[in-house]
Amino acid sequence: MSGVRVLVGTRKGAFVLTADGKRDRWDVSGPHLGGWEIYHLKGSPVDPNRLYASQCSGWFGQIIQRSSDGGKTWEAPGGGMTIAPTGMPVGESNKFVYDTSPETGKPLTTHQWYDGTQHPWEFKRVWHLEPSLTDPETVYAGVEDAALFRSTNGGQTWQELAGLRGHGSGPRWQPGAGGMCLHTILLDPSDPGRIFIAISAAGAFRTDDAGTTWRPINRGLKSQYIPDPNAEVGHCVHRIAMHRSRPGVLFMQKHWDVMRSDDAGESWHEVSGNLPTDFGFPIDVHAHEPDTIYVVPIKSDSEHYPPDGKLRVYRSRTGGNEWEALTKGLPQRDCYVNVLRDAMAVDALDPCGVYVGTTGGQVYVSADAGDRWAPIVRDLPAVLSVEVQTLP
């Protein structure tokens, strides 16, 4: 019987939860890298033993950890996170060395964003790791302040995909409440040159040439707190998602509004429908039903907890607009946790499993696509990310 491995990143370490296909009895392993903030943890889709983790602290900086045995042991390739773009010297461990000026072609110095005036640019953390769909040695990293990097040797060295920051809109990017973070990376399984990313609070972007050039894909988004609500950039996107069988259809949880695109991001329309609030962070798609999507509404951008103190996952089976509350097994009174943007995931079993982690340290599973829920664990540190691997 197939099984699942749930990878949980928390404020104080990583946890690995495993079960067989029934998903009713769980083995909990951890904390791995105990005491460290594990901001994101994700496994390769082609090698179930290869995992990557974003480990960071304000004192020691950023380290990328790698496991080659499913999370039993970990190593920091190259001793840390060293990035050396072509023609640049290798920076010291855990520092970024940035790429060339898009205007002069000359190298930029460490920790510098080029906008014509070269104001200082600071690297704070890796928000999201996205392993390649075909090669376990290739992995992408989205960082704060917003930039995108790629490693092709299992995290030993990294190259910036500098066309993103070199896009002419870069000087107009502004941070969201959590910082100016590149938090979403979607790889198109039907087109190896196409990548979607999202930045808070700049918006969504797409490349069709494997990261050489980029363009904003924000037409149809409206954001009332920027001077031009229809601006090319400046929209606070919280998360985007797709189904592997239909990569041209994208779903977005925005800072207010749940959105849908049917043309690979060329245009968006709202599908918030009857949700109790259209503010939230995560969004995901059922593994086998590309029109079934999940969100977790939060009361407001200042009150990051469920409306009425009831933790409810909402499901739409129609690709948006019509939503139903999924509550069975979830706390329906005095619950004031949050579910962060990377803290919801689905598995590929049948029926599809759905997983939610909370800032209160709970990880819930529904083994029947959301109808019934049960806690896997209740008292972890605050959960920052939840990802799932389906095991043979």
Task: Count other C-beta atoms under 10 Å from residue 190's C-beta.
Answer: 10
Distances (CA, A) of 45 to 32, 110, 197: 21, 33, 19
The pair of three-digit structure tokens given for residue 118, joined into one six-digit string: 């070269």
For every residue of 62-122, DSSP letters joined together read EEEEEESSTTSS-B-GGGS-EE--TTSPPPPTT-----B-TTT-PBPPTTB--SSS--B--
**pLDDT for the residue 39:** 96
pLDDT in tens, the chain (392 residues): 689 999 999 999 999 999 999 999 999 999 999 999 999 999 999 999 999 999 987 777 788 999 999 999 999 986 655 443 333 333 333 334 444 444 444 443 333 333 344 444 557 789 999 999 999 999 999 999 899 999 999 998 888 898 998 888 888 888 888 889 999 999 999 999 999 999 998 999 999 999 999 999 999 998 877 777 778 899 999 999 999 999 999 999 999 999 999 999 999 999 999 999 999 999 999 999 999 999 999 999 999 999 999 999 999 999 999 999 999 999 999 999 999 999 999 999 999 999 999 999 999 999 999 999 999 999 999 999 999 999 98
**pLDDT for the residue 99:** 42
Residues in Cβ contact with 233 at an 8 Å cutoff, skipping those fewer than 6 apart? 169, 172, 173, 202, 203, 216, 218
**pLDDT for the residue 355:** 98
Name which of 203, 202, 204 is nearest 194 in CA terms. 204
**pLDDT for the residue 78:** 67
**pLDDT for the residue 166:** 84
- CA gap 392, 381 in Å, rounded: 29
